[in-house]
Amino acid sequence: MLTLGFGLASMAVAQSSSSSSSSAPGAQIRQDDGNPTARPRAAQIQAGGASVTLETSEPLFDMGSALNTCGYDADLDKSLPVRTEVRNDINEVLKTSEAARASRDALCTYLELHRLAGSALNVGQYVSLALYLSPPPTMTPNVDVSDLPPQAAQVEQVLPLLRDFAEKINLHYIWLQHRPEYDAVTTRMHDPMQQMVLGTNVFLHMPVSSYDGRRFLVLLEPMLSPALTNARIYGMDYIIVTSPQKTEGDVLPVRLEQIRHIYLHYLIEPMVYSRGQAMERMQPLLRAVSDAPIEFIYKSDVVALITECLIKAIEAHMFKIAGPEPKRPRSGFSHADDTDYLTLRNAYDRETAIEQQRLVDKDETQGWVLTGYFYGALTEMSKDGASLTEQMAPLIYGMDAGREINHAKNIVFDKTGTIEDPLRYSRSHAPLVGMDRAELDLATGKMDEAADLAEAELGKPNGDKGRATYVLARIDLAHGDPEKAMAGLQQATTLTKDPRTLAWAHIYMGRLYDTMTPPERDHAVTEYKAALATRDSRPDTKTAAEAGLAKPFALPQRGPAPTKATQAKPEDDDKDFDPTAKAEKEAYKPTPPKP
């Protein structure tokens, strides 16, 4: 597993609990700690893991190998050589083993009986299931079958056949034999992916620290068609399964623009959906796009439409024309050199701006009718140097709904082209339950719902009492009861075994100490050090704790006041914060008791 830390240049190589040791020098090997309280999630994302990771998966390899054995040949000629090599290895075993052939036949019969129309849908159901499997040889779902995504649950009965096939073929041995080829392509993708993530964050001025318990995971699987990108949104996890293709020279084996598109969804969706209720005034926009060549979800969900339009505008801003970008000469250059550079730079910027506007116009004719609005607003935002987090409220609340609806009605949609949407089959969310649901409700300001779920968790004999107590403490803080919040946070540190929950409980206690009257700085420093000592390993907890050590925590400050151009309404003045931010800001004011 390659971990991409925001602002970090280091690369950590780790393995899943079932894989062999990495051969990379200085590799950091991580094993499942067997913590029974760790909550199961898609793709075996480890509790306390990094927010953004690039990985391979043995269960996904096994599923892809099974599909290939049973006639899945899509884009074989464009795939990496390892795909053919694995197929040949499996065929050699089949030639000499009657038991293996019988197991294959039973598996292939099941796959044929459950075939769906369309390769993407057919393969996608098995990819979805593989994301929820424990490592071989068990390969069992890490959630209840009732909690699996619908497309995965409908083929769950393939698992006994898959386990038998893997055993008869000795797929684990084949996996180990070809693991260096998997590691090689993963390593090759690390730096470009890290640059993409960092470049996107820099462009949007996104903060490093943000506790929401969400993950962005890219899984590389060469046994699948390079033309197929499976993007999945499962609860708070955003997952992309992509297959590298044969390339020459410096051409990357996967399409980074698709990965960036999903990464933008990962960054932006929580900010937009938390203000979904305020966008009811934009509902008439759906009638204007009813004839557009876009997926039904964007014609029926105005928040989804607005989110996609904002992402399209960001992608247009980040678009660069083909060819090298002019570089300013280094020290020792002449005045003539500087003049030549400025001439080339201006020409490059003009051509880039023209192509960016063409891209915006094309997006609008395809149905993304707010792309132009957001493109212009982002241009102003870049001049101010403000982050997207700070400017989300002016972007949303400052929109002239009537003007944009009329603009959309006058667009002539182009229905001749095809729209490639990597999220097309991703919206079958696994239902969030228990504390996962409670934390999402907390993040989106649904305090009562979060409290009900946390109280229910406390009542269960084997409930996650540590997380439940932590959530209730956060709710107490948002409701303006810091004394009760402090007591709850202290109790959570004694109950939880989850390093992430433990770290953030200490961080919140540190912040409470910092905002006492007078501040209890010594106690705050102790809490921040305790947070670091949990070794959560996530960049946001580390950054938040180190920031608390560097200087006392300050109360959240308002972003810049909306300009006249944003047309923000006075009653929306406080909505540039997350739903809980204002309440928590008020909650810090009373003086909590000293423990």
DSSP codes joined into one string, 392-412: HHHHHHT--HHHHHHHHHT--
Give the pLDDT band of residue 442 (cuts 50, 70, 90): confident
pLDDT of residue 538: 56
pLDDT of residue 24: 28
Find which of 26-35, 82-91, 459-468 is predicted with most confidence, using mean pLDDT: 82-91
For residue 59, say if its preceding peptide bond is cis, omega within 30 degrees of 0: no
Cβ atoms of residues 580 and 473 within 8 Å: no
Q: What's 430's DSSP letter?
A: P
Find which of 13-17, 390-394, 553-557, 558-562 is predicted with most confidence, using mean pLDDT: 390-394
CA 31 to CA 582: how far, in whole Å?
Answer: 40
Give the pLDDT band of residue 296 (cuts 50, 70, 90): confident
Q: What is the largest CA-CA distance in the chain?
A: 79
Region 317-338: mean pLDDT is 77
User: Does the pLDDT value for residue 26 go beyond 90?
Assistant: no
Cβ atoms of residues 400 and 204 within 8 Å: no
User: Does the pLDDT value for residue 585 go beyond 50?
Assistant: no
Region 559-575: mean pLDDT is 37
**pTM for the predicted model, two decimal places:** 0.65
Region 408-420: mean pLDDT is 81
Three-state SS for 356-369 is: HHHHHHHHHHCCCC
Region 262-269: mean pLDDT is 89
CA 94 to CA 109: how far, in whole Å?
Answer: 16
With residue 89 as reference, give the H or E element that holds it. Answer: helix 81-96
Region 31-37: mean pLDDT is 32
Query: How do residues 210-265 score in pLDDT, each as one tens digit?
Result: 445 678 899 999 999 998 888 887 767 788 999 999 988 778 888 888 899 999 99
- Comparing CA positions, the residue from 527, 526, 484 lying closest to residue 509 is 527
pLDDT of residue 444: 61
CB atoms within 10 A of CB 239: 25
Q: Give the CA-trace dihedral at 50, 55, 58, 64, to 10 degrees.
A: 130
Query: How do residues 365-399 score in pLDDT, each as one tens digit?
Result: 999 999 999 999 998 888 877 888 888 888 888 88
pLDDT of residue 423: 60
What is the percent of the chain with per-residue pLDDT over 90, rounded to a whole number? 43
Region 337-347: mean pLDDT is 84
User: Does the pLDDT value for residue 312 go beyond 80?
Assistant: yes
- Encoded tokens for 475: 């709710």
Q: Domains of the chain, with CATH numbers?
A: 2-237 (no CATH), 274-409 (no CATH), 434-587 (1.25.40.10)
Long-range contacts of 172-177 (CB under 8 A, 24+ apart): 172/18, 172/58, 172/136, 172/137, 174/65, 174/86, 174/89, 174/90, 175/19, 175/58, 175/61, 175/62, 176/19, 176/20, 177/89
**Helix, strand, or coil here: 289?**
coil
pLDDT of residue 480: 86
Region 186-190: mean pLDDT is 92
Contacts of 92 (CB under 8 A, 6+ apart): none
* Span of 6-20, 50-64, 349-363, 491-505 with lowest mean pLDDT: 6-20
pLDDT of residue 208: 54
CA 354 to CA 591: how far, in whole Å?
Answer: 56
Burial letters 387-407, b for 16+ CB under 10 A, else e: ebbbbbbbbbbbbeeeebbeb
Altogether, the residues listed in the chain come to a count of: 595
User: Does the pLDDT value for residue 102 go beyond 90?
Assistant: yes
User: Does the pLDDT value for residue 534 go beyond 70?
Assistant: yes
* Span of 487-496, 505-514, 556-565 with lowest mean pLDDT: 556-565
Sheet holding 215-220, edge to edge: 12-13, 2-3, 52-55, 215-220, 237-242, 229-234
Burial letters 118-139, b for 16+ CB under 10 A, else e: eebebbbbbbbbbbbbbbbeeb
Three-state SS for 122-185 is: HHHHHHHHHCCECCCCCCCECCCHHHCCHHHHCCHHHHHHHHHHHHHHCHHHHHHHHHHHHHHH
What average pLDDT does the chain have? 79
User: Does the pLDDT value for residue 591 go beyond 60?
Assistant: no
Strand partners, 216: 52, 238
- Comparing CA positions, the residue from 517, 442, 445 lying closest to residue 482 is 517
Region 26-42: mean pLDDT is 34
Exposed/middle/buried for 247, CB within 10 Å: 0-12, 13-18, 19+? middle
User: Does the pLDDT value for residue 19 go beyond 50?
Assistant: no
pLDDT of residue 177: 97
pLDDT of residue 432: 54
CA 402 to CA 289: how far, in whole Å?
Answer: 15
pLDDT of residue 146: 77
What is the percent of the chain with per-residue pLDDT over 70, rounded to a whole number? 77
pLDDT of residue 25: 27
Find which of 328-337, 346-355, 578-587 is predicted with most confidence, using mean pLDDT: 346-355
Give the pLDDT band of residue 35 (cuts 50, 70, 90): very low
Region 558-564: mean pLDDT is 41
